Amino acid sequence: MSVREPSRQPDEPRSPQIFTLEIDGRPTLVFEAMGLAEASGICLDADLRSDLRALTSDGIPICAEDANLSPRPATQEEIAAFKHAVELAPTSDEPTMAFLIKIDGVMVVAVDPQS
């Protein structure tokens, strides 16, 4: 006898989950994804890595070229920080990401791709 997980109907909607991106083990930002596979794909995005390498915190780059970026499910505190950021962010079709660390300079919360 084998034990199977309950099957999900193909058309059953899934809700996004909140994940934390760790850079070399340091919780750095929170974001939504439909699952761990999508969250991992976001962490592999070359544009995201490039953007992160350009940012500093207290004058120190937050992401080295060879840094390990890995997602994990967010903690309750991190989920609360994400939800707070979403409330403050202007309405946008773009995904919202919230930093868990201080970032030097001015950050754009949402960018309209039409402008």
pLDDT attached to residue 12: 53
pLDDT attached to residue 3: 46
Low-confidence ranges of the chain (pLDDT < 70): 1-13, 106-115
Classified as helix, coil or strand, 68 is coil
Question: What's the rounded Cα separation, in Å, for the pair 23 and 49?
Answer: 10
Q: Which two tokens stand for residue 53?
A: 């390498």
Question: What's the rounded Cα separation, in Å, for the pair 100 and 20?
Answer: 9
pLDDT attached to residue 114: 42
Classified as helix, coil or strand, 79 is helix
0.85 surpassed by pTM = no
At 71-86, the pLDDT tens digits run 999 999 999 999 988 8
Q: Which two tokens stand for residue 3?
A: 């034990």
pLDDT attached to residue 92: 78
